[in-house]
Amino acid sequence: MNIFDMAYEYRNFFFAGLKYTLLLAVLGVFFGFVLGIIVALLRMSKWRVLRFISTAWVEFLRGTPMLVQLFLIHYGLTELGLEFTPIQSGAITLTINSSAYLAEIFRAGIQGVDRGQVEAARSLGMKQGMTMRYIVLPQALKNVLPAIGNEFITIIKESSIVSMIGVADLFFQAKTITTITYEGLTPYVIIALMYFVLTFTLSKLLGILERRLSTDDHR
């Protein structure tokens, strides 16, 4: 069976897998975005305990394989009475892993904002929380938006590990088709092309967005 016949005959398998892959990537980046901002702010807190906890969070998640994190959440936490479905475990793993990398991106973006603007806002009577909300964070997020997009691309590719706990994503569907057809190459070539189309398209859109942001800054 050639690649085009297989792609058409098993299109429902591939599209079902694509749905779960995109769902998990979106959930991972969205909730990782929120959690990453929180962790970044904690890392810059004046309280040493909060800085220690947030730093430990980032270093542990960046220093251990995502597959190990997935197994700890899906299988390890059952011993503590916490049980999650494969989809929930996958989403949680991608969220916390993404939050560690996004936290560092946000921290760099916040620290890159001109201190003069912060001092000017404070001199006008704005409190620290208001300054962060209305002055610092909007500029920081604009500066790191391309990096956030790159993290989305990374999560799309790394989401394939969720197939290890039974989530029917693209990689899981390719294994299923291989079992049905005994074709050991073609299904994986098809999903490789699908991953490539997703990431290539997204990277081009990010490039357009980055150029527009750069143009706006020069006006």
Place 62 in a pLDDT band, splitting at 50, 70 and 90. Answer: very high
The answer to which of 75-89, 125-139, 174-188 has the lowest mean pLDDT is 125-139
Q: Is the pLDDT of residue 218 over 70?
A: no
Q: Is the pLDDT of residue 44 over 90?
A: no
Place 118 in a pLDDT band, splitting at 50, 70 and 90. Answer: confident
The answer to which of 11-25, 57-71, 81-95, 130-144 has the lowest mean pLDDT is 130-144
Q: List, in order of start, the domains of the chain with CATH numbers.
A: 3-217 (1.10.3720.10)
Q: For the CA atoms of the chain, what is the radius of gyration?
A: 21
In whole angstroms, what is the distance from residue 168 CA to residue 162 CA? 8
Looking at residue 45, its pLDDT comes to 87
Under 8 Å between Cβ of 100 and 39:
yes
Looking at residue 217, its pLDDT comes to 59
Q: Is the pLDDT of residue 122 over 80?
A: no
- ∠ CA(73), CA(13), CA(6), 5° rounding? 135
Looking at residue 104, its pLDDT comes to 92
Which is nearest to 118 in space by CA: 103, 145, 140, 144? 140
In whole angstroms, what is the distance from residue 91 CA to residue 103 CA? 18
Give me the residue label for tokens 């993290």: 151
Looking at residue 206, its pLDDT comes to 84
Q: Is the pLDDT of residue 219 over 60?
A: no
Q: Is the pLDDT of residue 24 over 70?
A: yes
SS3 readout for the chain: CCHHHHHHHCHHHHHHHHHHHHHHHHHHHHHHHHHHHHHHHHHCCCCHHHHHHHHHHHHHHHHCCHHHHHHHHHCHHHHHCCCCCHHHHHHHHHHHHHHHHHHHHHHHHHHCCCHHHHHHHHHCCCCHHHHHHHHHHHHHHHHHHHHHHHHHHHHHHHHHHHHHHCCCCHHHHHHHHHHHHCCCCHHHHHHHHHHHHHHHHHHHHHHHHHHHHHHHHCC
Give me the residue label for tokens 């001199």: 123
Under 8 Å between Cβ of 159 and 116:
no
Give me the residue label for tokens 């693209």: 170
Structure tokens, 38: 């929180």
Q: For 195, what's the count of Cα atoms within 13 Å in the CB-facing half-sphere?
A: 20
User: What percent of the chain has pLDDT above 70?
Assistant: 97
Q: Distances in Å between the alpha carbon of 90 and those of 5, 97, 110, 143, 202?
A: 31, 11, 29, 29, 22
